[in-house]
Amino acid sequence: MLNIKDQQVNRELVTIDKVFADGSSTVTFCRRNDSIFKKALEVLPNDPKQILILGCGPFEPWTTAGQQRVIAGNASIVGVDRSPEITELNQSLKDKGEINTADIYRIIGNPVFGQEKRPKTSSQLLQEAGITGIDIDDTKIQVAEQNRKKVEIAPPNRCC
């Protein structure tokens, strides 16, 4: 986790995922990194103008946009992933507000990795964390317009 202010672009870097750095694939699931984002947002002295998520995967831009501090502030979120497939899925989700979860799982693998002992659904976990504007069930992921308006999806060659 990084928390660096880059004066040249006036951007706060909240996190850089190992996946972005080494290009390897990792199994992920909704809410995997949300507690880290919440903690990072809590320790920032001011509301960031922009949150850059490198290695964002298919969930973090949308769940970050649903964090209370982001909702209350003016931050925009830039989600960048090395995977062209993830970038395309995220852009489709931004444009349409809904995609099939099967399209995500085809790329990232088993979505219950690390959750085997949790009897709760992704929607229940999001609700418990106070993350709003995103809903996931067995067939689709839906992202509310208020979350989508705060997010820009950028390919790696355009972000930095």
Total domains, the chain: 1
3-class secondary structure, 23? coil
Structural domain boundaries enclosing 83:
4-159
Bridge partner residues of 147 (DSSP): none
**Four-CA torsion 37, 41, 44, 50, nearest 10 degrees:** 90
Mean pLDDT of the chain: 76
CATH of the domain at 140: 3.40.50
Q: Is the dihedral of CA 70, 134, 94, 114 positive or negative?
A: positive
pLDDT band at residue 112 using 50, 70 and 90 as cut-offs: low
pTM for the full predicted model? 0.74
pLDDT exceeds 70 at position 3: no
What is the structure's pLDDT at 117? 55
- Within 10 Å of residue 137's Cβ, how many Cβ atoms? 11
pLDDT digits (tens, 9 = 90+) for 50-85: 888 888 888 889 999 998 888 888 888 999 988 899
* Cα–Cα nearest to 20, from 78, 67, 66: 78
- Residue 134 and residue 144 in contact, taking contact as beta carbons nearer than 8 Å: yes
In whole angstroms, how large is the CA radius of gyration of the chain?
15
